[in-house]
């Protein structure tokens, strides 16, 4: 049966006023229900989807801006490091630098040993140059002067490991084993 055949069977003129109101109200409610389901709900769903997409894209943009800021910072630090490499003296070696610094800090005669090593860095043209050295019977002032010279050097040198033991309590002498690192081209 089609909708038209149903309407032919329902003769509204034969119905009472109350029945006509019920049939027309039912038809109106059915039309309203179809309007809501087929037009209004999809509009609101699409609007909600678009709002979620906008929120997602906004978060992606914020993440991209944060990553750009981090990249710019890393790039700037890399350029500064590269500039510091170029300011190093030609022929710079970590071993000779530490030997010279030990003389300036007046601990050269207290150096028990110096063991240099070089390690290739993965995915980098730079090599890690490391010197392990032992200072024996130094005062706290001498050790501090030497460490300050290492850490404040313009040559991008740093102490990566330090072990200090008390040698003589009466005289306040210390033994120190330290590893000093730098990167070299």
pLDDT in tens, the chain (185 residues): 566 666 666 666 677 888 878 888 888 898 888 888 888 888 889 989 999 999 999 999 999 999 999 999 988 887 887 777 777 777 788 888 899 888 988 888 989 999 999 888 787 777 888 999 999 988 889 899 999 998 888 888 889 999 998 877 777 888 899 999 988 77
Query: End of a domain among 87, 111, 130?
Result: 87
Indicate whether 79 and 101 sit together in one domain: no
The confidence score (pLDDT) of residue 54 equals 94
Using CA atoms, how far apart are residues 42 and 39, in angstroms rounded to an integer? 6
The confidence score (pLDDT) of residue 70 equals 94
Indicate whether 134 and 167 sit together in one domain: yes
Indicate whether 55 and 102 sit together in one domain: no
State both tokens at 66: 């944060």
Helix (H, G, I), strand (E, B) or coil at 40: helix
The confidence score (pLDDT) of residue 65 equals 95
Overall domain count for the chain: 2
Query: End of a domain among 61, 87, 113?
Result: 87
The confidence score (pLDDT) of residue 139 equals 87
Residue 131 CB coordination number (10 Å)? 21
| Full residue range of the structural domain in which residue 78 is found | 1-87
Helix (H, G, I), strand (E, B) or coil at 161: strand
Who's near 139: CB < 8 A, 6+ residues apart? Answer: 172, 173, 174
Q: How many CA atoms lie within 13 A of 39 on its CB side?
A: 6
Closest among 87, 107, 118 to 147, alpha carbons compared: 107
The confidence score (pLDDT) of residue 123 equals 78
| In the chain, alpha helices (H) | 3-9, 17-35, 41-87, 94-104, 140-151
**Is the model's pTM score more than 0.95?**
no
State both tokens at 105: 């800090």
CATH of the domain at 102: 3.30.70.60
The answer to whether residues 103 and 84 touch, using CB atoms and an 8 Å cutoff, is: no
Query: End of a domain among 59, 87, 115?
Result: 87
Indicate whether 115 and 176 sit together in one domain: yes
The answer to whether residues 118 and 127 touch, using CB atoms and an 8 Å cutoff, is: yes
């Amino acid at each position: 049966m089609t909708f038209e055949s149903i309407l032919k069977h329902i003769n509204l003129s034969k119905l009472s006023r109350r029945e006509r109101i019920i049939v027309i109200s039912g038809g109106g409610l059915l039309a309203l229900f179809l309007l809501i389901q087929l037009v209004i709900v999809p509009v609101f769903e699409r609007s909600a989807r678009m709002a979620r997409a906008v929120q997602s894209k906004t978060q992606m943009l914020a993440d991209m801006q944060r990553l750009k800021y981090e990249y710019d910072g890393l790039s700037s630090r890399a350029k500064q490091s590269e500039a510091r490499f170029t300011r190093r003296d030609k022929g710079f070696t970590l071993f000779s630098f530490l030997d010279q610094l030990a003389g300036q800090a007046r601990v050269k005669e207290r150096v028990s040993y110096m063991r240099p090593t070089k390690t290739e860095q993965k995915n980098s043209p730079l090599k890690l140059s490391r010197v392990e050295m032992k200072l024996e019977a130094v005062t706290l002032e001498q050790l501090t002067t030497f460490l300050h010279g290492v850490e404040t050097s313009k040559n991008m040198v740093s102490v990566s490991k330090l072990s200090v033991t008390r040698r003589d309590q009466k005289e306040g002498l210390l033994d120190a084993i330290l590893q000093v690192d730098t990167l070299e081209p």
